[in-house]
Amino acid sequence: MHELGISMARLSALPRRISSTMSNPASEVEHPASSYIPPSSHNCCVPQEYDKKTDLFHEGRNQGGKLVVIMVGLPGRGKSYMARKVARYLNWINYSTRVFNIGNYRRKLLGADHSAKFFDPDNADGKKQRMDMAEAAMDDMLQYLSNEGEVAIYDGTNSTLERRLWIQDRISQTDGFHLLFIESICEDERIIERNIM
């Protein structure tokens, strides 16, 4: 279990296909007949290359399936950190992956400085602007997936039932898109404080 509350077992359990043309530099070095195990026998310290994509979506992959990952959680809980790490890993195994961070849309279009009042659920104007940013990120994400993208990560708090139902409705309008929600839970005050500061 990851310290932020998410199990990465699904991603780490993906089959790895190593290129057969890879050389093993450790095989050329003589080692005493002790308990030495060459790196190639346990896949440690040997660069791995993927000669083709792993089967992330099983049969759905062959039918053109696309994956939409929705990050959920309170601010400062590591959603963006995990989103970037997952995207980096998926790009590394040759899946076209991109993160769509709603906060980046807000900062780019409305500026970076907002008071707590902007995020108040009773602030109708702030709520409308936040929804506009969520829609802009969603539109860009769906456009990306309709073209070259295979995996898109929609990064935001997405903490209300209303928002998650809206996301589910938007994604379900397109055939072949699979939806996965990942919730980041962190109750360690030191980590939260460090992330917010």
76 and 41 assigned to the same domain: no
Domain that holds residue 26: 18-51
pLDDT in tens, 103-154: 999 888 887 877 777 778 888 888 898 899 999 999 999 999 999 999 999 9
171 and 144 assigned to the same domain: yes
> Does some domain include residue 4?
no
> Does some domain include residue 66?
yes
Q: How far apart are CA 170 and CA 181, in angstroms?
A: 14
136 and 176 assigned to the same domain: yes
93 and 141 assigned to the same domain: yes
60 and 38 assigned to the same domain: no
> What is the model's pTM?
0.67
42 and 83 assigned to the same domain: no
- Work out the percent of the chain whose per-residue pLDDT is above 90: 47
The structural domain count of the chain equals 2
Q: Is the separation of the CB atoms in 57 and 180 below 8 Å? A: no
30 and 88 assigned to the same domain: no
Arithmetic mean of pLDDT over the chain: 77
61 and 133 assigned to the same domain: yes
- Residues in contact with 26: Cβ distance below 8 Å, sequence separation at least 6, in sequence order: 38, 39, 40, 45, 46
Final residue of a structural domain among 5, 34, 51: 51
44 and 78 assigned to the same domain: no
11 compared with 142, residue with greater pLDDT: 142
Smallest CA-to-CA distance from 72 within 159, 179, 190, 191 is with 159
pLDDT in tens, 166-196: 999 999 998 889 999 999 999 999 988 888 8
37 compared with 78, residue with greater pLDDT: 78
What is the pLDDT at residue 97? 98
43 and 100 assigned to the same domain: no
Residues pairing with 177 in the sheet = 66
| DSSP conformation class of 24 | -
What is the pLDDT at residue 101? 96
> Does some domain include residue 165?
yes
